[in-house]
Structure formats: structure tokens, C-alpha cells
Amino acid sequence: MFITFEGIEGAGKSTAQRLLADHLQNKGYTVCTTREPGGCSLGRRLRAVLLDARTTGLRSKAELFLFLADRAQHVGEVIRPALDEGQIVLCDRYVDSTVAYQGYGRGMDTDQLVAVNNLAIGGLWPHLTLLLDLPPEMGLIRAGQRNKEEGTVISEGRFESESLTFHTRVREGYLERAAGEPDRFAIIDASCPPEDVLLQCVSAVEAKLREFGRVVE
């Protein structure tokens, strides 16, 4: 089963991914945790370019194709092989990030973005997308503090430095996509403590596992 985490900066995706992976592994599932950009070796090099605040003047189309290159390689090298082995794949960001950031954030045509993404992923859409939702003001504070603590304000700060209106558009884009695909998306209230975020994720994942006849009690 293929599960993705989505949401604005600092929503708590990486934290929820880690907690959910532990929970599922304790139940006996084999789990592959990965992320975009940077879930494969090519992707790690692309990530350094894409997230570094010193990467200036990058055209929106060039940015798009770098994310797509990362995704195409990542699907082929990591995600499909793990799914073929029957693992549960937990991926931090995927196609919906491109539609939300490059589409709603940068203003690119969202239908075109879905079409080029479909080419990159070869039709491999997630079974479930956990959308961690919270106000951008809150997410940006969390992400800013984390980057300061980890010393990544410059090396990973290019998107965090976008305006609040950009991040508000991204959030609205995510919510619109979730409204359009209610079977795939579960909206998680990410403003509460990590343990409560985990409980909401577990309930959405168990419902999906049940649908697939893969629930372990």
C-alpha cells in the first residue's frame, strides 16, 4: 500500500511519518519510509539545489522539471520495488506537493501539472494521502525553529522564505484537492500534539488497510 504525507511547511509530516512507521512496524508490517525530494541518490543532489536559499533566479518551469526528475527516479528506484515486495510505503510529499506549490503557489496550470506528473510516476497514485492541515503562521514558526536548531536555515530555507500569502495559497490548494478526491485524502488536524496527530493518521490508515483486507489486529 502506498501512503503519502502532504501539507505546508512545518505541518509535522516527517514527525508523523516516523511515529506511524514505528506504530505499523510494531504491528508486524514491513514499512518503507522515504521522501521527496531526496528519496534516492540522484534526488539528494537535486534536493540540495531545490531547497538551498542561495539557489536564486530558478524559473518555475525549471523548478518543476527538477522535482519531476527526482520523482521519476524515486518511483522507479525506490517506491515501485518496495510496493512490489508488499511493503507499506510511507512517502513524505509526492505529486500533490507539486500541484499545491508549483500550481497554487507559483500559479502554473494545475491540469498540466497533473498530466506531466502522471508521466513521471507512470500512473502510480497513492492509495491514501494524509493531509496534515494547520494555519501557515503556525507551520512557518515550527519549520523556522527546526531549521535554526538543525542549522539548515540557508541550505533548506528556499521555500520557507516565500511570503505568507504564498503559503496560504498552498494550503488552500491542498484543501481544494482533498475536497475533490475525498476517497484518497484524509484531512488531519495538525495543530494538535504529535500523539493526537498520530491517532488520527492511524485511524485513516486502518480504515484503508481494512478496505484492502490487510488489517492486523
Classified as helix, coil or strand, 140 is helix
* Residue 133 · residue 190 · CB < 8 Å: yes
**Backbone φ, ψ for residue 186 (5° rounding):** -120, 125
- The residue range among 21-29, 73-81, 143-151, 205-213 that interacts with ligand T5A, by the rule CB under 6 A, is 143-151
Query: How many residues make contact with ligand T5A (CB under 6 A)?
Result: 28
Q: Which of 193, 213, 216, 217 binds ligand T5A (CB under 6 A)?
A: 193
- Residue 169 in contact with ligand T5A, rule: CB under 6 A: no
- Residue 151 in contact with ligand T5A, rule: CB under 6 A: no
- Residue 103 in contact with ligand T5A, rule: CB under 6 A: no
**C-alpha grid cell, residue 49:** 539545489
**Residue 150 to residue 138: CA distance in whole angstroms:** 19
Helix 110-121 × helix 60-74 angle, to 10°? 30
Q: CB count, 10 Å around CB of 158?
A: 18
Q: Which of 91, 128, 178, 197 binds ligand T5A (CB under 6 A)?
A: 197
Question: Closest by alpha carbon to 143, among 9, 7, 13?
Answer: 9
User: Residue type at 164?
Assistant: L
- Residue 67 in contact with ligand T5A, rule: CB under 6 A: yes
Closest contact distance (angstroms) between CB of 170 and ligand T5A is 8
Closest contact distance (angstroms) between CB of 155 and ligand T5A is 10
Q: Which of 40, 82, 88, 143 binds ligand T5A (CB under 6 A)?
A: 143
Q: Which is nearer to ligand T5A, 14 or 110 (CB)?
A: 14
How distant is the alpha carbon of residue 158 from its chain centre?
17
- Residue 15 in contact with ligand T5A, rule: CB under 6 A: yes
Positions 26 through 65 that interact with ligand T5A (CB under 6 A):
36-37, 51
**C-alpha grid cell, residue 165:** 500569502
Helices (H) and strands (E) in the chain, counts: 9, 5
- Residue 2 in contact with ligand T5A, rule: CB under 6 A: no
- Residue 10 in contact with ligand T5A, rule: CB under 6 A: yes
Q: Which of 87, 159, 176, 184 binds ligand T5A (CB under 6 A)?
A: 159
Question: Closest by alpha carbon to 8, among 125, 105, 106?
Answer: 105
* Residue ranges binding ligand T5A (CB under 6 A): 7, 9-15, 36-37, 51, 67, 92-93, 97-98, 101-102, 142-143, 145-146, 156, 159, 190, 193-194, 197
